[in-house]
Amino acid sequence: MRIAIDAMGGDFGPCATVGGAARALSADAQLHVVLFGQRSRLESEIARLPRSLAAATSRLQVENVDAVLPDGQQPAKALRHGGDTSMARMLACVANGDACAGVSAGNTGALMALARRVLGTVPGVTRPAISTAIPTCNEGRCYLLDLGANVDVGPDRLVEFARMGDAMARHVDGLRSPRVALLNVGVEGTKGSPTVQEADRQLRELTTINYVGYVEGDSIFSGTADVVVCDGFTGNAVLKASEGLAKMLVARVQATFDAHWSSRLVGLLARPALMRLRDELDPVRYNGASLLGLKGIVVKSHGSADAAGFHYAVARAAQEVRRDLPRRLAVT
């Protein structure tokens, strides 16, 4: 299995992408990786890899691309001027069939715009959506979509997102009947915008989806739904707020234990539990947002992800390849 990677994107650039790719290769013997980016920088990072990861580089290939898409590039400009960048070359590799999937930590809007042009969408999907898993109670997870690709959508698009989220949960996570919900300001039938109410009406008429109705924001993390559907503006705000809250909670708990000598002693005893809590809430564990609805598999890594986080994004792409996700989406 060959994964193409835009190695120049993200806050940490090749430092994170090369290290993450090497970790993914070390963990998956069937994986091969091609890195697109500036050869001198990539080879420099490869040379710095620890000995434990160096052996995996025999399955790593570097393709030199001098041009890099700026992080703040507008999607329209990316479409006009980004044709020979590391991101575009990565996507072309997927479109040509030379790679099974692509991964990038670069500009989300540019990635979606270029991917849609280069790869196209699967039959039955009008507009791709961005989806990722977020942690829920009892060590579960819930898919949230859309996360920013479609800010203003109509009811038909929300139904389309529900179908794609259902397919993701079924075929990637193996859930037989995923519970699909609409995010709303209340659970009563009279609540919400006309768009959400119409989407609710359409979803109730579907027999192929286990639609459970409305959920409010606090229910996303309760585990009452496996897929939560909303517009891109709302989804992105929820995701970023939850990441910030998780970081704040861990920092506050640690600061509380460090505040006094007696609580420091308790903190030492509680350290294993605190480490587990931090790991469970760490967004890195859930890094890798899927660009659902494209004819090829593309995973967007969080821009602030380090090597460990980027590893998760590559692993996510490999998992979707093994489940043949685009074909599953085409028949929903």
pLDDT digits (tens, 9 = 90+) for 14-29: 999 999 999 999 999 9
For CATH 3.40.718.10, the residue range(s) in the chain are 1-125+293-332, 127-285
Given the candidates 3.40.50.300, 3.90.1150.10, 3.40.718.10, 3.40.50.720, the CATH classification of the domain at 1-125+293-332 is 3.40.718.10
What DSSP line would sit under 59-118, residue for residue? GEEEEE--B---TT--HHHHHHH-TTBHHHHHHHHHHTTS-SEEEE-S-HHHHHHHHHHH
Is domain 127-285 in CATH 3.40.718.10, yes or no? yes
On whether the CB atoms of residues 26 and 315 are closer than 8 A, the answer is: no
pLDDT digits (tens, 9 = 90+) for 145-190: 998 888 889 999 999 999 999 999 998 888 999 999 999 998 887 7
pLDDT digits (tens, 9 = 90+) for 178-233: 999 999 998 887 788 999 999 999 999 988 899 999 999 888 888 899 999 999 99
What global pTM score does this model have?
A: 0.86
CA distances from 37 to 43, 300, 319 (A): 10, 17, 24
Alpha carbon distance 72, 69 (integer Å)? 8
Q: What number is the average pLDDT over the span 229-254?
A: 83
Residues in the chain, how many?
332
Nearest CA-CA partner of 103 in 174, 181, 40, 9: 9
On whether the CB atoms of residues 320 and 329 are closer than 8 A, the answer is: no
Residues 6 or more apart whose Cβ sits within 8 Å of residue 227: 142, 143, 144, 145, 162, 165, 166, 168, 169, 178, 179, 180, 181
296-323 burial by CB neighbour count: b if 16+ within 10 A, else e?
A: bbbbbbbbebbbebbbbbbbbbbbbbeb
E-assigned strands of the chain?
A: 2-6, 32-37, 60-64, 101-104, 129-136, 140-145, 179-183, 210-215, 227-229, 289-292, 297-300
In 3-state terms, what secondary structure has residue 46?
A: helix
On whether the CB atoms of residues 222 and 137 are closer than 8 A, the answer is: yes
